[in-house]
Amino acid sequence: MMPRWQRAYVLATSALIAGAFAFAACDWGQWPRLAYLPQLGVFTLHPPAGALAITYLGSVAWALGGAACGLIVGAALCALVKHPWPDRWLRLFGAWAITAILLAGSYETWNLWPW
């Protein structure tokens, strides 16, 4: 039987990996996302060209959706492999989680850089 802490670790790392991917991919892939137009005081999925739009809330929504999908995948993995996971697999999941956060953060930082 898989220990409870391993199940929680797999779920958390899976959620982090998928959430970080969705956060960066929604911007890179130009997926439609919720935008707030502060001058008009409205939320929209398709801001007009040239309008001041704050899309951070939409990016966070995509990240939360990605994290939820990651939880589902992590739960499916835990259901498939019911015995304790080797330390090598756990380290791999942790390394991927750290890498995903660093890559998503670096991508967003690069996009904010004033070129």
> Which two three-digit tokens encode residue 74?
């992590």
Is 61 inside a domain boundary? yes
pTM, two decimals, is 0.88
Domain-located, residue 83: yes
* Residues 6 or more apart whose Cβ sits within 8 Å of residue 8: none
Mapped onto helix, strand or coil, the DSSP state of residue 17 is: helix
Q: Give the domain range for residue 74.
A: 4-110
Tens of pLDDT, residue by residue over 60-114, are 999 999 999 999 999 999 999 989 999 999 999 999 999 999 999 999 899 888 7
68 part of a folded domain: yes
Domain for residue 115, yes or no? no
The Cα–Cα gap between 87 and 106 comes to 28
- Residue 13 inside a domain? The answer is yes
User: Which two three-digit tokens encode residue 81?
Assistant: 């492999």
Spatial distance between the Cα atoms of 96 and 58, rounded to a whole number of angstroms: 24
Calpha distance 7→82 (Å, rounded)? 10
Longest dimension (CA), the chain: 57
